[in-house]
Amino acid sequence: MSISRSLTSLLLLCLLVLAPMAQAQSTDSEATALLQALAEASYAQKKDVIAEIAGSGDERARGWLDAFANGKLNRIEDSGQFVIVLSNRGRNWTVADALSGESLGEVSRRDLDTIRVNNALRNELDGILSVIDLTVANPDTRLAAARDLRGEVDGPLAERIDRLLQTEANSDVRAALAEALAIYQVGQGEVAAVAVLDGSLNAQARVALNGAAQSDNPELAAAAARALKGIETKLKLNDVAETLYFGLSLGSVLVLAAIGLAITFGVMGVINMAHGELIMLGAYTTWGMQQLLPGQPGLALILSIPAGFLVAALAGIAIERTVIQHLKGRPLETLLATFGVSLMLQQLVRTVISPLNRTVVTPDWMSGSLMINEALSLTLNRLYVIGFALVVFAGLMLIMRRTRLGLDVRAVTQNRTMARSMGIKATKVDILTFGLGSGVAGLAGVALSQLTNVGPNLGQSYIIDSFMVVVFGGVGNLWGTLVAGLSLGTINQILEPWAGAVLAKIVVLVFIILFIQKRPRGLFPQKGRAAEG
């Protein structure tokens, strides 16, 4: 071991031994004295001062040492006040008091004296900063520090970690410390340490076990091989869970895209090829709201939910009144007419807004991921989309089961002629139903804006899939749409890794064709005389 390595290990050992002895945070006078010593000591003497600061138990110590390592710990020449540089652009630098953390505004860089650090000290500070957080009171900070130690432990530090394990009260921190220690011990050839790493999904643990599996010690190699086999099994299970999660998120998008189509298709028997453009309008509404509320993506997204529904619903009603009502009973002509409407809407967006894709900003509370373990994390935007789809589905079920509109819709769906004879205004039901289905398509666009870019061709990517979901689930049946959407999304996600995106869709399409041959009315067929005809 080199002299520098030995000195670093000695400093780390001193840090971990002295830190528990500190009973309270240093007073400002003591802190000033430590920083004064750091500023005036020679490079050789600074090593001892660094160890003293690190072992002081002061919660501010890490910030001081981190600033010192990055050349941001300074002293105002006139007053001798210690400051940390927050921004060093231009002639005037923004600084904060090193003791209180209070911002002092801008100070001329000529009035600041930087406390110098060399590369040798930086290397030692890297090791000290990686373990100093093990001594703080906050368990989350200790846990993060313990996890950072995996793969970084040496002999002197291993002895101290072994002692810390006896006093650490937090079970998560204790497990992370044990894992960091076991990685080192496996590297030293200790067979018993393999059991600690058995089932660990940490990359450093797998590296240590792979090295041990090549060991000349047959007992160590056999134990490491068994542990690696178990880890591989867990990794495969996590891969399956991740695939199912992405499948459910894709299925949720399909449910949102198809559920409005299921309503209109079930009630009116209309093949609306402009349904994808209604989805697109919902997505552009979200983008438009963010332009109206710059810097507030969260509020804009929340307001986009009712706005997207309203814009798409009004567009749907306009399509129904101007085109579809004149083509009732002529499905082929309706298909061609709505296809023409879809092209017109696409060109309208290209002309008025832009042919280029637009990016919708994801709010902070939808960004990032939920970490389940080190091999599985769930992206929050997809998690919110799944929840949003279920909420929309539940809302539609309440409308269909608990309102007069829902009762009229079900009556018209099952037997339009009989419903008319009972006094139900089928034309009014058609208008409201088409508006409702179109509004839900707008909600699908709002959700999609958080998963992909918004562009004129956005809806075209989902219109065929939406029809497949409707046919597979059973025309006009909401439960069928939910089951079919989630099922097809999951199946497609499972097939894509080995078949590719295009072939996966072909396989799904062939599956649906064969299924419809056996069950022409889908998973959940309509009930009623009209369904039997």
Structure-token pair, residue 223: 């134990």
Residues of the chain with pLDDT under 70: 1-26, 57, 126-127, 130-131, 156, 266, 476, 526-533
- Indicate the domain borders of the chain: 3-143, 237-527
Q: Tell me, what's the pLDDT at 309?
A: 95
Contact 317, 452 (CB under 8 A): no
Location of structure tokens 């025309």: 475
Q: Tell me, what's the pLDDT at 527?
A: 59
| Closest by CA position to 207, among listed 241, 182, 173, 244 | 182
Which segments of 91-217 does DSSP mark as H helices, in order? 119-132, 139-148, 155-167, 171-187, 194-197, 203-213
Class of domain 237-527: mainly alpha
Number of helices (H), then strands (E), in the chain: 22, 7
Contact 274, 441 (CB under 8 A): no
Are β-strands 92-97 and 82-87 bridged in parallel, bridged antiparallel, or unpaired?
Answer: antiparallel
Phi/psi at 493 (5° precision) = -70, -35
Contact 267, 531 (CB under 8 A): no
Q: Tell me, what's the pLDDT at 526?
A: 63
What separation, in Å, do the N-terminal and C-terminal C-alpha atoms of the chain show?
A: 87
What pTM was computed for the model?
A: 0.73
Contact 181, 205 (CB under 8 A): no
Q: Tell me, what's the pLDDT at 394?
A: 93
The upper half-sphere exposure of residue 273, i.e. CA atoms within 13 Å in the direction of its Cβ, equals: 16
Cβ contacts of 118 within 8 Å, gap of 6 or more: 43
